[in-house]
Amino acid sequence: MTQHRDRPGTDILTGRMMDGLQQTRTLAWRSLLQIRHNPWQLGDFSIQPILFLLLFLYVFGGAIAGSTGEYLRFILPGVIVMNMVFVTVYVGHGLNTDLTKGVFDRFRALPIARWAPLAGRIVADLVKQAWSILLLLAVGFLLGFRLGTSVTGLLAMAALVLTLALAVSWIMVLVGVIARDPEHVQLFGFTALFPVTFVSNVFVPVDTMPQWLQGVVNVNPVSNLADASRGLLVGGPVLEPTLWSLAWACAITAVFAPLSVWALNRRLMRG
């Protein structure tokens, strides 16, 4: 008897969730369609990572690894991770643009789930992140990179990078909500992410650094993710850096997701 009484409420909740997911997909598609009108939006997800890869490979490859071919095996996973960290800034940038231009106010007037606009923005940027990973791998293979593990390892690497991208996106959502305008999102975002990215093992092995710096680098989530990505692509330790990367993803999400949602709701209420 109790099951029959509970079923209508459960069906309504399921229906609302499915509607919200459909609305999220529609809003994510809206964000992606904007690229057609402004192709340069995809530049930071396409041109920038390729330039980073080519510059670091041919400027530092011989000095660091003895040859560009050997350094490519080291730097390609690192550039994939570095690019993931930097382009999460555009989650906050796009969100702030929607907020300052009143787009979110229009969304609130529509009969859609309250979380759908934010979810749509994040999903759209994850699609762009996936495009960056695919593009960098394609360029890497053209330059001579060869997979040292398996296709399963490659897919696991992409999934792990996107998991961290989702977590870091919550930090940028918070920045996007509290920043005054999109320019300040980029200023705050890049200022915070530069030291985190460069004080890591993305570009050089940890054992080439001073002893006092190695301890900082080893606990850096960017280093953990770079190690896991290298292990999944070319071989090496996988389990420990992967577990640390997932732990960082959970910790970042647990802290910044509630803060971001609270700050967004507060800003919308004030508006």
Per-residue pLDDT at 192: 85
Contacts of 133 by beta carbon, 8 Å cutoff, 6+ apart: 80, 84, 158, 161, 162
Q: How confident is the model at residue 7 (pLDDT cuts 50, 70, 90)?
A: low
Q: How confident is the model at residue 241 (pLDDT cuts 50, 70, 90)?
A: very high
The number of domains in the chain is: 1
What value does the mean pLDDT take over residues 208-232?
93
Mapped onto helix, strand or coil, the DSSP state of residue 237 is: coil
More confidently predicted of 11 and 132:
132
Per-residue pLDDT at 41: 65
Quote the percentage of the chain above a pLDDT of 90.
Answer: 42
Q: How confident is the model at residue 39 (pLDDT cuts 50, 70, 90)?
A: low
Residue type, 19: D
Per-residue pLDDT at 213: 92
Q: How confident is the model at residue 1 (pLDDT cuts 50, 70, 90)?
A: very low
pLDDT of residue 105 exceeding 90, the answer is no
pLDDT of residue 93 exceeding 50, the answer is yes
Distance CA 271, CA 265 (A): 10
Q: How confident is the model at residue 151 (pLDDT cuts 50, 70, 90)?
A: very high
Distances 65 to 56, 82, 213, 256 between C-alpha atoms, Å: 12, 19, 21, 38
**Model confidence over 10-31: pLDDT tens digits?**
544 455 667 677 878 887 887 7
pLDDT of residue 4 exceeding 50, the answer is no
Per-residue pLDDT at 100: 85
Cβ atoms of 177 and 260 closer than 8 Å: yes
Distances 2 to 6, 12, 13, 216 between C-alpha atoms, Å: 6, 16, 17, 56
Provide the domain limits for residue 53.
2-270
Q: Tokens at residue 124, please?
A: 């759209």
What value does the mean pLDDT take over residues 56-79?
89
Match 């960056």 to its residue by tokens: 132
